[in-house]
Structure 1
């Protein structure tokens, strides 16, 4: 665990609404970004002038947890307490919608550094901690250009934020200015996109378009697009730039495989279109090389496919304390069925927890209900043979959107530390018992989930896109979590360490030359360059040096992040 995570920031961030109070006049350290207490931090007039230049779109951060605290410590000690608002916040804290409307609140609670915690004592002052100081509510590429220019001129840390769905702390940062792209919502149908490698329907989506918005628009035009599972994930942001998988992955590949072109503002402020013919290196890098580091995406154009019918299945088997061995014998059979399932185009999500095993769900595009039932029959037959009580449901829907809307609607995003690993198909084919044993070890103590797919044919060659080529060998991405304890920060930090030092090594030992899906991985991974990016890292680093030569863009575990570190007070400095 890095020192910047472990130390609770106690110094006041001197900002309230559009006012910045410089606490001291000490010079900023050499090779570091400036912070509010530095003499080089912009004056109030400087921020006012910048706000005018972006049409009044500058937002000063007040953490959304402020109503749970008597004082927002901003140099002015403003009272923010409202018990009714606090109670309402606590009831909805765990869901994306609570954070979507905020320009600063990290959905992954830990990256706020436990400051302004809604569950801490109301007498504890609310401070910014790991959250950004200001955000620009960008609605055009010009707003983005001006934010980059201001950040570079004043040597201020810059953060790119869309929805805030982020398990690696990329969408927030202490003492930073954020470019908030959430309201860039334009969607356009291109009935026939004619490009070098694709001719057919496409959608052009703004940086702020969420998955459900793209799904609804596509459905209205009898089409569907490759997106994520959670409806509020931003399609063009870190999701696709990090690879991106969802219900159509086993049929069409990763989201990154679908991109036809990007509209981008680079680190030099240049507004460019990147595709296979114009800026092809940037086009390649953004297709899976990670978000928040090469440029700010304004829009993305992706392939669209004719809509079709879907089948879906759910299953639940509870562990009652007397059936544990039988349950895991059945899970072993389920795991052996996965290659055949994904080769039939099915996308499978399963979860193991101390109280049981859940299939939630298996989704088959162009697959009838009875066909999906048959594919899962070895598992259900084994459950019956072992005398295990289980619940199984399946159905068929006529369109992608109808099927999507039939799925579980609640998406809890803030309750867990996270880590992950890609599991190669060869492991399941050659030694499924070893994998089952590892899942049982982890699942008996905490939550572990497997998202299963076949994306081998998403592109002609694994090197056609920047996604770690190991993805094409993978049968599934494993995600595992330990509970966040909002009343015990030390326990929360220890939970992440258990993921890093106990649970993930169990999986790594089975595939020591493996990889991880960089959107659902362990941000503490010391080998993130090889684990997240594989053999592409050096090429990606070179491309970054072309489009962001001054290292304006930084994000944890992103390409080029190894050239920076965060000190004890969250200041970003060159290594």
Structure 2
């Protein structure tokens, strides 16, 4: 993989996506007959329109931004004539589901929902190089952002030329918000600034870290550890901290101790839709923008260049993990019911976070994170549950408890074996404490999980950490987070060679599961960063009572929807057509 500048000097290789026709059909039905796709202001222009910018205009933009414009090229182009190269194609096939190539790409996202046969390696493609290879649903060009002026120039160009604009950071994007047919992408991945501050305001005095939009979680953890500090970040080490993670709320190993990612934000450095470069904080004229960015969804209100986060003093962290097999179905599901009930106890312990996984073959409590605790504390917390397992006759297959001197060493030990793959499809639900406290409601929930697991190789991640202590912070985090006992994301893994038809089928299955869990968890809500684009009640599930205020802020800062993203606030004002063209719906 390589990167060079625009026009004749090379490209950065980019995977090709083609917009999911099932999704577009769903939203296209809402378009008014008077707003049909075509060459009018009602729709954004595409590369085959007469109004699309010509080479001279793209070249002028490239010059304006210092030669940082990138033309997208299919990642698997070596599998097709005229670029057919059997050895390169085979290498691409072998790494097709590897994460890193997507993180370092300016236009591609790693979610399989947004990949199909537009330009895929064998076995999707013919082995003789025949077939078509197009850009599909990906951005046509990308700006490698290094400063605010490049973002401002990109926004101005997109507005003047009436083309779609997208924002991409690392590639983690289950909703396809970073993709967009014929768009100009603002690629913030290389904004890697990490600056330590002694922050002071009327709301907070203490250590802080200014984090560039492209900084990934593991890099931030390493940098903070060197300063004897720790900071909230996502459970996946390659998630960009300042991007959609924090803007969507942001959970991770330390959030039970310090609150969600959005709860830790002191200020945002933002470029708005009218090209203003501003700082948004709860104490200045942009406090409403700060409020919206702190939990109201990414890719919607402006382009975040950096985020300033609270930092916390590092020190010992207790951790633990255990697991057991499903060798007797009735006993196993009794044990899972008991675990969810025991979370009512563990969830009341300040700072304790647990992440467990249910599969048809067993349960793994992958790791617990408890800053400042001891081995005895962890053992005491789990002891009542282990006694329940003993009564059921279920032996533990693994059981580890230890204290590490700092958070980084704790994370490296307990999450080192965690696999982060491309071929998985997910959705999520926040499960209220009140539901688990009600035996009948809990039985219905467990029955639903069991029924799904009996019929599918499903994966259920049970992520529990109390964040109600941050409820007094003024931000747009979905209120269901404060009332939840645990966040449950669920999904299906896919074979590396899964066909597009199988991807569509699995996507429909996941959507059906989300509908089922919504019915049995009223008021629960869902975490939009790990959710489905097919959720028909996305406004309620992803934004809840905050939606109206968020919509008002969206109109204030971006009335023309320069920033449009799937199931984002205000997104129903526009919709992609069957050919991927973005058009007004009314």
Task: Compute the TM-score of the two structures, normalised by the length of structure 1.
Answer: 0.91
* Structure-2 change in CA distance of 1:7 and 1:471 (3 Å): closer
CA distance in 1, matches of 2:463, 2:94: 29
Aligned to 2:506: 495
Conserved in 2, the CA contact under 8 Å of 1:555 and 1:561? Answer: yes
Provide the residue aligned with 1:136 in structure 2: 143
Q: Offset at 1:113?
A: 4.0
CA distance in 2, matches of 1:220, 1:310: 16
What does the per-residue CA deviation read over 1:80-132, in whole Å, with 9 as the maximum and x for residues that have no partner? 33333333333333343121111112110221344212341243322111111
Per-residue CA deviation, residues 322-357 of structure 1 (Å, 9 max, x unaligned), is: x11111111221111112222222111111112221
1:560 corresponds in structure 2 to: 570
Name 1:55's counterpart in structure 2: 66
Task: State the shift of 1:543 in Å.
Answer: 0.7
Residue 20 of structure 1: aligned partner: none
The answer to whether the Cα contact below 8 Å between 1:95 and 1:411 also exists between their aligned partners in 2 is no
- Give the Cα–Cα distance (whole angstroms) in 2 for the partners of residues 112 and 152 of structure 1: 28
Distance 2:443 2:52 in 1: 58
Deviates more, 1:488-497 or 1:476-485: 476-485
Q: 1:166 to 1:214 in 2, by over 3 A?
A: same
- Mapped pair 1:450 → 2:462: yes
CA distance in 2, matches of 1:448, 1:475: 15
Taking structure 1 as reference, are residues 316 and 83 closer, same or farther at Cα in structure 2, changes over 3 Å only? farther
Deviation at 1:173, TM superposition (A): 1.1
1:400 aligns with 2:403: no
Structure 2 equivalent of residue 121 of structure 1: 125
Q: Give the superposition deviation at 1:440.
A: 1.7
Q: For residues 348-367 of structure 1, what are the structure 2 equivalents within 5 Å?
A: 348-367=354-373
Q: Match for residue 109 of structure 1?
A: 112
Per the TM alignment, residue 63 of structure 1 is displaced from its structure 2 partner at its CA by: 2.3
Pairing 1:19-418 to 2, within 5 Å after superposition: 28-67=39-78, 69-71=79-81, 79-119=82-122, 120-122=124-126, 123-190=130-197, 192-278=198-284, 279-320=286-327, 323-344=328-349, 345-389=351-395, 390-409=397-416, 410-418=418-426
The CA distance in 2 between the partners of 1:328 and 1:114, in whole Å, is 40
Q: 1:93 to 1:360 in 2, by over 3 A?
A: farther
Unpaired stretches in structure 2, ≥5 consecutive residues: 1-17, 25-36
SS at match of 2:322: strand
Deviation of the 1:259 alpha carbon: 0.4
- Closer, same or farther in 2 for the Cα pair 1:560/1:392, shift >3 Å? same
Contact 2:514-2:535 within 8 A present in 1 as well = no
Aligned residues of 2:471 and 2:482 also touching (Cα < 8 A): no
Using the TM superposition, give the Cα deviation of residue 27 of structure 1 relative to its aligned residue in structure 2, in angstroms: 6.0
2:549 pairs with 539, 542, 556, which one? Answer: 539
Equivalent residue, structure 2, for 1:473: 483
1:213 deviates by 1.2
The structural deviation recorded for 1:574 is: 0.5
The match for 1:14 is none
Does the Cα contact within 8 Å between 1:335 and 1:436 map onto a contact in 2? no
Q: Higher mean Cα deviation, 160-169 or 390-399?
A: 390-399
The worse-fitting range, judged by mean Cα deviation, of 443-452 and 521-530 is 443-452
Mapped to 1, the partners of 2:317 and 2:391 lie a distance apart of 29
- CA distance in 2 between partners of 1:349 and 1:90 (Å): 33
SS in 1 for 2:552: helix
C-alpha distance in 2 between matches for 1:422 and 1:388: 28
Aligned equivalent of 1:16: none
Distance 1:106 1:4, change over 3 A: closer
CA contact 1:6–1:493 (8 Å) conserved in 2: no
Q: Is the 8 A contact 1:196 1:276 kept in 2?
A: no
Contact between 1:309 and 1:365, CA under 8 Å: does it hold in 2? Answer: yes
- Root-mean-square deviation (CA), in Å? 1.9
Cα contact 1:309–1:400 (8 A) shared by 2: yes
CA shift at 1:457, angstroms? 0.7
C-alpha distance in 2 between matches for 1:487 and 1:253: 38
CA gap 1:337/1:236 in 2 versus in 1, 3 angstroms: same
5+ long unaligned stretches in structure 1: 10-25, 72-78
2: distance between equivalents of 1:253 and 1:203? Answer: 16
